[in-house]
Amino acid sequence: MNPYDGKPSFCDGFQNRFEMSSNISTVFLKIKRVDLSDSGLYFCGFFIGRHTVIVNATYLKVQEESDGMTNLVIVILGVFLNIVVIVLAVKIRKLQTGTDLGSDELNYAALNFQAKPKRSRRPASERELEPHVVYAATR
């Protein structure tokens, strides 16, 4: 604002977007239609001759208002992801418990079958036992 007439001068493209007013000690800047391009550093100062004197600077960050649809999509995707993780964890757990047979669930028996010995002496080769191994799963 020029102190001699109290009216602000705007650069190209900024006319009709801002309203400036002041009292004795404070300058007010009102942005009529705020959008994301209004984010930035705003300086408050004055000219002495041809030199600019900056008194104060303020950073303005404009954020878009989030609509409910975006939040709803994020919540739905989060719930779906949690369900998928839980289902996969349950399936993996079932696979681990289904294939892990404990020592009580599986019995092994090694059996030797031989004919009833006769009282007569047999050669050494006939006296050697021939093992037959049988495996059986029980539940």
pLDDT, residue 137, reads 66
**Three-state SS across 61-107?**
CCCCCCCHHHHHHHHHHHHHHHHHHHHHHHHHHHHHHHHCCCCCCEE
- Evaluate the CA torsion angle 90, 96, 102, 105 in order and state its sign: positive
φ and ψ of 74, to 5 deg: -65, -45
Domain ranges of the chain: 1-65, 106-137
**Residue 22 CA, distance from chain mean position:** 49
Q: What is the pLDDT of residues 77-105, one digit of tens each?
A: 999 999 999 999 999 988 888 765 555 55
Q: What is the mean pLDDT of residues 3-15?
A: 70
Please state, for a pLDDT cut of 70, what percent of the chain lies above it. 69
* Adjacent-strand bridge partners of 57: 43
Which of these ranges, 17-21, 65-69, 85-89, 126-130, has the smallest mean pLDDT? 126-130
Nearest to 55 by CA among 12, 1, 8, 101: 1
User: Which pLDDT band, with edges at 50, 70 and 90, does 71 fall under?
Assistant: confident
